[in-house]
Amino acid sequence: MSDTAASAAPAPQVSPDNPCPFLRALVAGGYVGGHIVPLRELTETIDRATGKTGLPALNAGAKIFMVAQMANGIGPFSQMRSLLQGAILDELRNGPLDKHGAGSRILDQHAVVHEDEIARLATFGSDYKAPDGSVERGLSASEIKTFMAANFQRAKDEHPPPYAILHCYYPLLMLGEWPVLLDIMGKGEGKDRYLSVAEVKTLFVEKRFPDRIVALLNG
């Protein structure tokens, strides 16, 4: 196929039943398929995006594998199917990792992006000096923690008990979302590391990674 034909090829379709912004960008970029993806392939792809090597890479890979294995269900049949076939990315909605309104609400159940929720995200952040010297809005680890707590409280306020009891594990699920995005896409090091709101918007709206992540995925 010529370069012209390849560039004219339509972008892969991303299912609205794939609610994870990172996975949606992986599918849209053609890094993984949009249906069944073997756990090893999915783990290795995400692991490349982290840029980690050695023991940190093995540790990250183990965590990614465990999350991917339970994404479609925690029952024995679902677990066995995931191990043998892979994660079904277009059947994640309403699965064990779906927070049902206790998350950011940037992406709704119909895969519509709500930019007012991105604006809300920005209110939890601060202005940071980017590596190129510019100043941009972002969230540090502590600011992300505050944001996630506010999201959970918002959901609790809208749904009376026993919501808080039945869904007490949602805060644990959140640890696999925004903190992971900070770890992979963050700028800076240590306590100065922050997640760019502009890059979050690009990830959700355009389903596209920053160039530095693209370079790692293509490496």
Answer for the pair 16, 110: CB distance below 8 angstroms, yes or no. Answer: yes
Instruction: Calculate ∠ Cα 125-99-13, nearest 5°.
Output: 90
Q: What is the pLDDT of residue 4?
A: 46
Condensed to tens digits (0 to 9), the pLDDT of residues 143-157 reads 999 999 898 888 888
DSSP secondary structure letters along 83-99: HHT-EEGGG-TTSTT--
Residue 78: CB atoms within 10 A of its CB come to: 17
* pTM for the whole structure: 0.87
* Residue 176 buriedness (CB in 10 A; 0-12 / 13-18 / 19+): middle
* Ranges 89-98, 124-133, 185-194, 203-212: which has the least confidence: 89-98
**Residue 89 reports pLDDT greater than 90:** yes
The CA-atom distances, in angstroms, between 11 and each of 29, 37, 145 are: 7, 18, 34
70 is written with which tokens?
């339970």
CA dist 183 and 189 (Å) reads: 10
